Amino acid sequence: MTKKPTPTAFPTHAPHLIKDAVKLIASYPKVPITVDCVIFGFEENELKVLLIRSDLEMYKGFWSLLGDNAKDNEELDSAAYRILKERTGMNDVYLDQVRAFSHPQRHPGGRVITLAYCSLLNIQHHELKIYANELHWHSFSSIKEMAFDHKEILDTCYAWLQKRIQEHPLGFNLLPDKFSLRELQNLYEAILGVSLDRRNFRKKFASMGLLIDVGEMEEDVPHRPGKLYKFNFEKYEKNKRKWIGIDF
C-alpha cells in the first residue's frame, strides 16, 4: 500500500560542501511534526474507528486520533508504525499516508504539523493491548466532535477510504478470513453510504473471480445461512492493476 521513499544516493562530496548544505538547513525554521493514525474497522455492520481520549487537559473528555510526535531522524512512515504499535500493540497493519495538516493554529500549544496515516483492519484479528488512554472502537457515524482538528482529519480520511475502496477491493482487509456475501455487501454499503442491488453486487464479485468458496456455511444466524468465502489474495496481487475502478 504505502510506498516507502527510497534513500537518496547523493554523491559523497568534499567536507566543505557538506558544511554548506548543513549551514543551509540550519537556517530553516523548524517545526514539531506529529503523525496521527486513523484506523478503520468494521463490526456489527458498522464502520468503526479507533480512538483514544485526548491526553491534553485542555481537551479533557474529547476523543482524539492515535498520534504522537515523530522522533529525530525518523521517517514518517516508520513513525506511524511505531506509534500505532506503542499505543495498540498492533504490528501487522498497513498504513497509508493521506495528507499533511498544517494550519498554524491547529494546536493550542503552538504550531505543529501533522501527517495523517490511514489503515483498514479486521477488528477480530487485532486484539487491542490497551497501552493508551481509553482506547476504543467507535461507530464512525457517532463521532461529531473531536480534539484539535481531528474531526477534519477523520473526515478527510473517510473520503480517502471511500475512494480507495472503489479502486481496490480492500474491503477484504476489514472482514474476517471467512465471510458471507451479505457481510461483504454490508461493508460496501456502510462505507459508501449507498444501498446496492444484491444480485448485481454478487454478480460483480463473481465476475472478478476474487472469491473462493470455502465450502462452509454461516452459523448462528437467525435465518437461512449463506455460504462462506475467502479472498483470493494471490489472484488479486497478480492482477492488481486491473481492479482499479470498481463501479457499482
Q: Which residues here bind a second copy, judged by CB under 8 A?
A: 3, 5-8, 10-11, 13, 17-18, 20-34, 56-59, 69-77, 97, 99-113, 115, 148-149, 152, 156, 245, 247
Phi, psi dihedral angles at 139 (to 5 degrees): -60, 125
Q: Which is nearer to a second copy, 9 or 91 (CB)?
A: 9
Residue 172's nearest CA partner among 158, 184, 190, 185 is: 184
Taking the complex as a whole, the smallest distance from the CB of residue 214 to DNA amounts, in Å, to: 11
The neighbouring-strand residues paired with 137 are: 50
Q: Which of 44, 72, 92, 247 binds DNA (CB under 7 A)?
A: 247
Residue owning grid cell 521513499: 5
User: Within 10 Å of residue 94's Cβ, how many Cβ atoms?
Assistant: 14
Candidates 20-28, 69-77, 153-161, 220-228 — which segment interacts with DNA by CB under 7 A?
220-228
Binders of DNA among residues 164 to 203 (CB under 7 A) are 180-182, 197-200, 202-203
226 binds DNA (CB under 7 A): yes
230 binds DNA (CB under 7 A): no
Q: ∠ at Cα 22 (20, 27), nearest 5°?
A: 95
Binding segment for DNA (CB under 7 A), chosen from 60-68, 99-107, 121-129, 225-233, is 225-233
Q: Calculate the CA 114 to chain-centre distance.
A: 15
Task: Name the residue nearer to a second copy (CB basis): 83 or 211.
Answer: 83
Are the C-beta atoms of 229 and 179 separated by less than 8 Å?
yes
- Residues in contact with DNA, counted by CB under 7 A, come to a total of 22
The DSSP H or E segment spanning 227 is strand 227-231
CB 81 within 8 A of CB 168: no
Question: What is the contact surface with DNA in residues (CB under 7 A)?
Answer: 180-182, 197-200, 202-204, 207, 217, 219, 221-227, 247-248
